[in-house]
């Protein structure tokens, strides 16, 4: 069955085809959810909520562009709704940004980072930092787009990204000290 036939069957609420769509895309979309969620249970909740929306809005897919990209957008928006601006706007990172961070990272520290290590470091970021970091660095959105999605100013998005990068650098520096 082609992707188009599968989508059209889902629009007609064919349960077997809905299951096939879920099986085809849920693994990759769970990875997207994990980047935004604080833990595995939250990621699974986001995934379930997102697929409910996917099937509810399937009739809106215009067969233009990637179906997977369309699903990803719904997943990201579902995750963002879970972690709204009000939830993270008052977070304190405990880290003050200086004009220049004098610490120099040994390149060998990066070489030892696994994907799991990196995901843990990103997951340790406060919600606001993590969400902006994911949207900008991983999803490829621009600050104006992020600002619109989150209901913030573009400068706030830029600031959150800088703070996220600085916090990640500090975490990696700490790992470097422990490894030595």
Task: Output the domain CATH number for residue 42.
Answer: 1.10.1740.10
Long-range contacts of the stretch 35-44 (C-beta < 8 A, 24+): 35/119, 35/122, 35/130, 35/134, 35/138, 36/76, 36/79, 36/80, 36/82, 36/83, 36/130, 36/131, 36/134, 37/79, 37/82, 38/123, 38/127, 42/82
In a shared domain, residues 67 and 143 = no
Query: DSSP characters for 22-38?
Result: HHHHHHHHHHHHHHH-S
Domain count along the chain: 2
- Smallest Cα–Cα separation from 168: which of 127, 121, 131? 121
In a shared domain, residues 174 and 101 = yes
Range of the domain at 61: 3-82
Whole-model pTM over 0.75: no
In a shared domain, residues 92 and 57 = no
In a shared domain, residues 96 and 170 = yes
In order along its 180 residues, the chain shows pLDDT tens digits of 899 999 999 999 999 999 999 999 999 999 999 988 888 999 999 999 999 999 999 999 999 999 999 999 999 999 998 876 445 444 444 444 443 444 444 555 556 678 888 888 888 899 889 999 999 999 999 999 999 999 899 999 999 999 999 999 888 888 777 765
**Run of H or E including 169:** helix 154-179
Choose the final residue of a domain: 82, 111, 143: 82
CATH number at residue 153: 1.10.10.10
Choose the final residue of a domain: 53, 82, 111: 82
């Amino acid at each position: 069955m082609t992707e188009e036939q599968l989508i059209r069957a889902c629009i007609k609420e064919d349960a077997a085809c809905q299951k096939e769509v879920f099986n085809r895309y849920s693994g990759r979309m769970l990875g997207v959810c994990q980047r935004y969620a604080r833990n595995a249970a939250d990621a699974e909740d986001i995934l379930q909520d997102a697929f409910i929306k996917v099937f509810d809005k399937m009739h809106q897919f215009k067969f233009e562009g990637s179906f997977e990209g369309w699903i990803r957008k719904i997943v990201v928006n579902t995750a963002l709704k879970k972690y709204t601006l009000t939830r993270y706007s008052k977070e304190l990172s405990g880290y003050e940004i200086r004009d220049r961070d004098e610490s120099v990272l040994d390149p060998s520290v990066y070489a030892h980072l696994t994907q799991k290590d990196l995901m843990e470091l990103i997951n340790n970021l406060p919600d606001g930092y993590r969400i902006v970091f994911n949207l900008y660095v991983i999803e490829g959105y621009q600050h104006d787009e992020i600002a619109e999605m989150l209901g913030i100013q573009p400068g706030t998005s830029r600031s959150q990204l800088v703070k996220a990068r600085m916090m990640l650098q500090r975490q990696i520096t700490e790992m470097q000290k422990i490894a030595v």
